[in-house]
Structure 1
């Protein structure tokens, strides 16, 4: 397999208005698509993973999808409805992100984790990396997203985009993992981490082409 240049994470807050139900930051998404287009034009293979932001968050919270049947003794049909509504919302965002990438000339294909990834007590026990690899090998740019998935211990849970990236990185060893956020600057770690990340005052791109 040819080397994987990078995994790009589009943060939920970067491409959506997180406090406004299913509200897209159109210009931010267009800029992100432009960055991915530049990568693709140089022949650098990449995978896109995006968060849910305001798509899916409200439904998951209302129906307690993240904890499934563990935290509350809920009606099974109620929980199933919550999972379905959450997935309708997150896949809607995945469609919008993938559509914008295609508009920029990128052969992007949406890949949803539900059914292919599984958890047990919120820990991933099955991850279908093969489907992602097949898409890459066929010349496509896979676009994955945070999702609601089945959980053998609590019926369902939330699989975050960050967890997906962690597993893909372990399996595929990309040269870079880049997080596009709603915070200005380039940081060596998430700026909202305890202690905060350090912003780079100077960024050389002679040896490392801009991504």
Structure 2
């Protein structure tokens, strides 16, 4: 049974301070992962104050690319640094995590459609490892290099690996309604379009609305929850907001 857990960048870093780790939060998450009894686990983490800082500084996004090698390496290098921090915390908790850097394993075509190599991830799982992927730059036909988010990685991996469960750990305890209460379940985007501030027909590219849209398209049950619910999610329990 394949489980995919995404650790939001804002959860494991100090988002307002460039390249600043939230070591205490990351250590707690590593301990929760280590304590879980999950046979096949893939972990993905976002960019937080590491990748996002450099991407914003250079004007690169999921659709607008750059060809400046120095800028590309600044984004990719920052994400590798954060990935190494996450790896070290997981190793300290005796989690057999191994890195997968998407920059060398993915590409977008001229229409922006993503192709991601996942055979190595599947083999890592078969061999008892915990693959650790991260948001990164990705070579993009006609654009140079654009941004590949952790959320997009999650949906690609869930489909390719036929994941049984998907969880997104965010800074909020779930998808919130107008009164900041957690919405227990979402089965259609129209149910929460007003709360998320977009119409059902809007093509959203970021934020919680994008997460909900992408997770609804999965064939796997997915949850959005806060750090306190990671243990519950990995134990197979419902956590935060269930989507789909």
* Secondary structure, counterpart of 2:6 in structure 1: strand
Provide the C-alpha distance between the structure 2 equivalents of 1:150 and 1:46, rounded to a whole number of angstroms: 27
Q: Deviations over 1:35-60 (max 9, x none)?
A: 21122xx2422100000000021211
Q: What is the CA-CA distance between 1:173 and the residue it aligns to? A: 2.0
1:150 aligns to 2:139 (yes or no): yes
Aligned twin of 2:156: 167
TM (norm. structure 2) is 0.70
2:38 pairs with 1:49: no
Instruction: State the distance in 2 between where 1:194 and 1:109 align.
Output: 41
SS at structure 1 position matched to 2:18: coil
Report deviation, 1:193. 7.5
* Change in 2 beyond 3 A, CA 1:15/1:193: farther
Structure 1 residues not aligned, in runs of 5+: 70-75
Q: Secondary structure of 1:195's match?
A: helix
Give 1:105 shift. Answer: 0.6
Where does residue 179 of structure 2 map in the other structure? none
Structure 1: 4+ residue segments shifted above 6 A? none
Query: What is the Cα deviation at residue 166 of structure 1?
Result: 0.5
Cross-structure match for 2:60 = 65
TM-score after normalising by structure 1: 0.81
Contact 1:9 1:50 in 2 (8 A): yes
Q: Distance in 1 between matches of 2:119 and 2:194?
A: 35
- 1:10–1:48 Cα contact (<8 Å) kept: yes
Structure 1 residue 123, shift from structure 2 partner: 2.5
Aligned to 1:72: none
| Alpha-carbon distance in 1 for matches of 2:193, 2:24 | 27
Residue 5 of structure 2 corresponds to: 8
Question: Aligned pairs, how many?
Answer: 191
Tell whether 2:18 aligns with 1:21.
Answer: yes
Quick one: distance in 1 between partners of 2:115 and 2:10? 27
Cα distance in 2 for partners of 1:208, 1:108 equals 21
Deviation at 1:28, TM superposition (A): 0.9
The residue number in structure 2 matching 1:31 is 28
The CA deviation at 1:136 is 0.9
CA 1:10–1:117 in 2, change beyond 3 Å: closer, same or farther? same
Gaps of 5+ in 2: 175-181, 187-191, 197-207, 209-223, 240-244
Higher helix residue share? 2
Give the aligned partner of residue 195 of structure 1.
Answer: 195
Mark the CA change 1:83 to 1:166 in structure 2 (over 3 Å): closer, same or farther.
same
Structure of higher RCO (CA pairs closer than 8 Å, 6+ residues apart): 1
Compared with structure 1, are the counterparts of its residues 96 and 194 closer, same or farther at alpha carbon in structure 2 (3 Å cutoff)? farther
Give the alignment's Cα RMSD to 1 decimal.
Answer: 2.7
Tell me the SS of whatever aligns to 1:54. Answer: helix
